[in-house]
Amino acid sequence: MSTLDADVTQRFARIRLLSLDVDGVLTDGRLYFTDAGMELKTFSSQDGHALKMLQENGIAVAIITGRSSLLVTRRARELGIRHVFQGARDKRTAFAALLARTGLEPADVAHVGDDIPDLPVLRQAGLAIGVANQNPAMTPYVHYVTAAAGGAGAVREVCELILRCQGRWDGALARYL
Per residue, what are the HEC states of 92-108?
HHHHHHHHHHHCCCHHH
Residue 75 within any structural domain of the chain = yes
Residue 77 within any structural domain of the chain = yes
pLDDT tens by residue, 61-113: 999 999 999 999 999 999 999 999 999 999 999 999 999 999 999 999 999 99
Residue 5 within any structural domain of the chain = no
Q: How high is the mean pLDDT of the chain? A: 95
Instruction: Please give the tally of structural domains in the chain.
Output: 1
Q: Is the pLDDT of residue 1 over 70?
A: no
pLDDT computed for residue 37 by the predictor? 87
Residue 3 within any structural domain of the chain = no
Residue 92 within any structural domain of the chain = yes
Q: What is the CATH number of the domain that holds 34?
A: 3.40.50.1000
Rounded alpha-carbon distances, angstroms, from residue 144 to 20, 47, 103? 14, 18, 25
Residue 27 within any structural domain of the chain = yes
Kindly report the pTM of this predicted structure: 0.95
Residue 118 within any structural domain of the chain = yes
Cα–Cα distance, 144 to 158 (Å, whole number): 9
Q: Is the pLDDT of residue 165 over 50?
A: yes
pLDDT computed for residue 141 by the predictor? 97
pLDDT computed for residue 2 by the predictor? 54
Rounded alpha-carbon distances, angstroms, from residue 61 to 4, 29, 40, 118, 138? 22, 20, 23, 16, 22
pLDDT tens by residue, 8-47: 999 999 999 999 999 999 999 998 899 998 888 999 999 9
Domain residues for 169?
15-174
Residue 104 within any structural domain of the chain = yes
